[in-house]
Amino acid sequence: MNYAVLDLETTGHGAGDDIIQVGLVLMDEDMKVVRTYSSFVKPTIPIPAFITGLTGIEEAMVADAPELEEVLLEVVPLLSDAVLVAHNVSFDAGFLNAALDRSGYVAFDGRRLDTIDLLRILYPTLTTYQLGAVTELFGIEHDQHHRADSDAMATAELFAACCRKLEGLPLLTLQRLAQLLGDEIDDLGWFVSRFATRKEMTSAIDMDAFAYFRQFAMKAGDWTEEQHPRSDEEAAASAAGWTFPAFLEHLKQGIAAVIPGYEEREPQNMMFREVIDALEEERHLLIEAGTGTGKSLGYLIPALYYGVQHNKKIVVSTHTINLQEQLRSRDLPLLLAVMPYPFKAAVFKGRGNYLCLRKFEGKVNMRDFGAPAEDRITASQMVVWLSETEHGDQEELNFGNRGADFWSAVASDADSCLNRSCPWFKRCYYHRAKQEANIADVVITNHSMLFTDIRADHRLLPGYEHLILDEAHHLEDVAGKHLGTQLSYYGIQQPVFRLCKDARNGQLIVLNSRLAHENVEQTQKWREEIDEVVPVFGELRDEWDRLFELLYALASASGGGGRSGAADSPGGEAGQYVLRLRGGKLPELWKEAQLIEEAVHGYLTQIIRPLDKVFAAIKEDIDDPAIAALVTDLSGTVKDLARARDDLRQFIKADKTDTVYWLEANANSRAKSVQLYAVPADVSSQLRTYFFDTKRSVVLTSATLSVQKSFQYACEQLGLAGEEEAGRLKTVQLPSPFNYREQALVIIPRNFPVLKGASGDPMFMEKLVASLTETAIGTHGRMLVLFTSYKMLKQAYEPLKEALSEHGIQVLGQGIDSSNRSKLTRRFQQQAASILLGTSSFWEGVDIPGDALTCLAIVRLPFQPPNHPLVEAKSELLQEQNQNPFMKLSIPQAVIRFKQGFGRLVRTAKDRGIVLIYDTRVIDTYYGKYFLYSLPGPKIETMHVDQIVPRMHEWLTPREEGVET
């Protein structure tokens, strides 16, 4: 059996495009390269500039190349009796067959293998399957990306790596893969089956390498055997001999030995002292620590010292799961390597992040796949992942398009948990995480989980008195979301579809047919009761659709007044609607909405009550574990419906004076896009109650907590007003470890037009595109442009792309080239000459150190739209207190967001770059100073637009020693 690894370079992806280069590598059964072939091909159409930019292939290189027929004359014999392998095989095979057809050859109809599918299944935790990125991760030499000869050889080496991985998989895993894939997904099933058959004949099961349970090979064993690495006596003995300064010095020496070039940073030293003081003196701390401080270690080291010394559990909470993972994969392993005594740290997330092994086993054994091709690959990924994961955490997986849907059906949840009666209980990933948190010195969780724990009466997180909040500027937002209610069209539609899609499909129908085979006296009665409920689902769906059509009509009839323009969504755009509901002034049609809700509530009750009774009776009388598991899942889904029913009733009443109610919708998905929100206008009193009045010490840290060197805004929003005066709080702003005056130049074009309207007027856009084009050429790309409006981003995208293509600079747009921030950032870093346009999530959390980012452009100051319901309600509260909402709310919110955006530029002590601010309000208005004074001391200059590029060149040119620019 030979394998022909193929790669083609083409003039584009369309039917009328031509092949311009062919690369082919022939491999034998042992994965040895037996022959290579490559050739340029003379196209019949010109090569577009962007293809030349991507591949480096110019017209001159193909001018004397052989024509397609000549190349195929050599290629066709090489493909005979070979399995075709490619990275995205459908693309290469499609182009090949079109070429064969045009030249009078028979189409290639042999077996095909896609290295992307193999990578997805065999390396389920890879964050990217892009060829250049994967070869770099695998250490495969791949000098010329997007050249067919180089790409084909790189793909051949990847294919060989995949084969080696297949050979090394446990036999049980291979057998599971062969069963799952069959021959249905291209030729993957055939290929995997060959490895399974070979392994069955040559090797026995290695009992020591994996934990085997219910026909799965797993890395994680029995969590009930988990123990703390120190006994209580060892803990007391190991911690007692250390003072904090000695402990800190020991760790610094250890870190210096592990990390080459490690240097102490005074701001980090200050943070060590402030955090240990706050813990030992049992008071709260607000500490602003900018980029480069090393704040993760700044709080982890004092937390581990104090926690072990006093046998106290410390909880560390982050806003993003990304930071949680960074702590798990980078900071904690470093500390484990250098600590003078062992410690236990645990990461604990919301339950839905963990795989439910019982549900997964049922789905795999029953072949219960909603999207057969995609779900089989996702399930195969997870079968391999079980042999590698210790945590069962979905964050480790890189899902395909439908992977999230599959995950939602196999994720752990409280309502369908069998607890100790589950056969998988001792191997359950959620209970493992909970047990690890119980015995840990430090528990790393996230803000969402803190509030989920509060709503669950503190039954989830272990008890704690000391809390460290990283990314603390998000705490108020997260509190609002979790202490309020959010409901969407799918909040009832999805559980309804799971239960009973129609008379023939759904879990309820499956249960009914299973009960027909049970020899229990009550079976017939249960089946009749289920049959009575089934028609109610149809009535419910009709009323639910009616309700959401009406709500959409209400939102769109508002004319978009109060449209969302929050930086966190592409809101404020045409077709985005927001309608605030005020208790005493509900719209006229609200009475009709209340009547439909009455009907929805009634139908839901007709479903929930009888099913609850039937399920309880079945659990009591039937021993079949498969039916018990199915009924448990059904019960969980019915509880979801009950929660949604109650949330809807609360929302439709809209009668709580301290709560803000609003609808959001967009014109694209109409009724299905409607979201209902009910959020407390002010969460400061709840935050005080849940945290600052009950915990001995809460440390809040972030790069952006102060506004114009003051913490007043943060204190008021978080419920800490008056605490500093009472001696219960200390506020600290650490100096930056970077020399911003030398590393960052802020340029404000003083003759730039003033921006009118939410999404820019034609004159502003024309000048913006012209300036961005000139600047991007001057910096050879390497530029991030931050917008506050998605509409403006889209308006700038095409003209920028056109203007920059002839200079070989690619333009990447959020929501256009991809909506995935990580993918866009990776593409930006890999392609040296790039300009990245971002809104929302790109204002923070994006880390692009080094030369990849030289220029940051801020198009507009990131003010929240004043007519967004939540902002409006907060403003009304301030007005009632005779305070100015613009100064007390709008300015601080925008300044904090602005500081986050500015922070994208300088990420290390060696970074150097320029920030362009196109919003002249920073120099023309009385409040502009709040923005500029909040920055960490960069050089700030104003100039005419035509002076920007020369000044940039001057700034970026390496300077002679002692010469100041």
For the segment 599-609, what is each residue's pLDDT rounded down to a tens digit? 999 999 999 99
Average pLDDT over residues 66-79: 92
Residue 549 tokens, joined: 């059509």
Structural contact between residues 273 and 673, judged by C-beta atoms closer than 8 angstroms? no
Q: With 90 as the cut, is the pLDDT of residue 667 above it? A: no
Residues in the chain: 965
**Residue 316 in 3-state DSSP?**
strand
Question: Which residues does residue 325 pair with via DSSP β-bridges, in sequence order?
Answer: none
CA 654/CA 662 separation, integer angstroms: 9
pLDDT at res. 572: 43
Quick one: pLDDT band at residue 207, thresholds 50, 70, 90? low
Structural contact between residues 701 and 257, judged by C-beta atoms closer than 8 angstroms? no
Of 46, 51, 42, 3, residue with least CA distance to 21: 42
Instruction: Tell me which H or E stretch contains 699.
Output: strand 697-702
Of 625, 918, 670, 965, residue with least CA distance to 786: 918
Quick one: pLDDT band at residue 231, thresholds 50, 70, 90? low
Q: With 80 as the cut, is the pLDDT of residue 704 above it? A: yes
Average pLDDT over residues 534-556: 93
pLDDT at res. 236: 54
Q: With 80 as the cut, is the pLDDT of residue 961 above it? A: no
CA 921/CA 748 separation, integer angstroms: 10
**Residue 409 in 3-state DSSP?**
helix
Of 615, 612, 621, residue with least CA distance to 512: 615
Residue 396 tokens, joined: 């480790």
* Interstrand relation of 2-10 and 82-86 (parallel, antiparallel or unpaired): parallel
Average pLDDT over residues 811-836: 84
The string of DSSP codes covering 451-518 is: HHHHHTTT-SSPP-SEEEESSGGGHHHHHHHHHSEEEETHHHHHHHHHH-SSSS-SHHHHHHHHHTT-
Average pLDDT over residues 3-22: 91
pLDDT, tens digit, for every residue of 280-304?
999 999 999 988 899 999 999 999 9
pLDDT at res. 569: 35
Structural contact between residues 921 and 861, judged by C-beta atoms closer than 8 angstroms? yes
Of 88, 849, 820, 87, residue with least CA distance to 398: 820
Average pLDDT over residues 202-220: 79
pLDDT at res. 13: 84
Q: What percent of the chain has pLDDT over 70?
A: 95
pLDDT at res. 695: 96
pLDDT at res. 965: 43
Structural contact between residues 374 and 435, judged by C-beta atoms closer than 8 angstroms? no
Residue 484 tokens, joined: 């309020």
Structural contact between residues 862 and 898, judged by C-beta atoms closer than 8 angstroms? yes
Most confident stretch, 125-134, 233-242, 270-279, 932-941 = 270-279
CA 825/CA 823 separation, integer angstroms: 5
Residues contacting residue 867 through CB under 8 Å, at least 6 positions apart: 561, 562, 563
pLDDT, tens digit, for every residue of 444-493?
999 999 999 998 889 999 999 999 999 999 999 999 999 999 999 998 98
Structural contact between residues 536 and 581, judged by C-beta atoms closer than 8 angstroms? no
Q: In what order do the strands lie in the sheet with 697-702?
A: 345-347, 442-446, 314-318, 466-469, 697-702, 284-288, 729-733
Average pLDDT over residues 3-10: 94
Q: Which of the residue ranges 196-200, 518-522, 740-744, 858-862 would you say has the lowest mean pLDDT?
A: 518-522
Residue 143 tokens, joined: 């000098």
Residue 115 tokens, joined: 């290295």
Residue 360: Cβ within 10 Å count? 22
Residue 623 tokens, joined: 């021993």
Structural contact between residues 940 and 748, judged by C-beta atoms closer than 8 angstroms? yes
Q: With 60 as the cut, is the pLDDT of residue 568 above it? A: no
pLDDT at res. 248: 94
pLDDT at res. 113: 95
CA 784/CA 915 separation, integer angstroms: 10
Q: With 50 as the cut, is the pLDDT of residue 821 above it? A: yes
Structural contact between residues 706 and 714, judged by C-beta atoms closer than 8 angstroms? yes
Of 630, 600, 598, residue with least CA distance to 615: 630
Of 866, 929, 941, residue with least CA distance to 898: 929
pLDDT at res. 312: 92
**Residue 673 gets which letter from DSSP?**
G
Question: Which residues does residue 25 pair with via DSSP β-bridges, in sequence order?
Answer: 5, 36
CA 958/CA 122 separation, integer angstroms: 47
Instruction: Tell me which H or E stretch contains 729.
Output: strand 729-733
**712 against 203, higher pLDDT:** 712
* Interstrand relation of 345-347 and 442-446 (parallel, antiparallel or unpaired): parallel
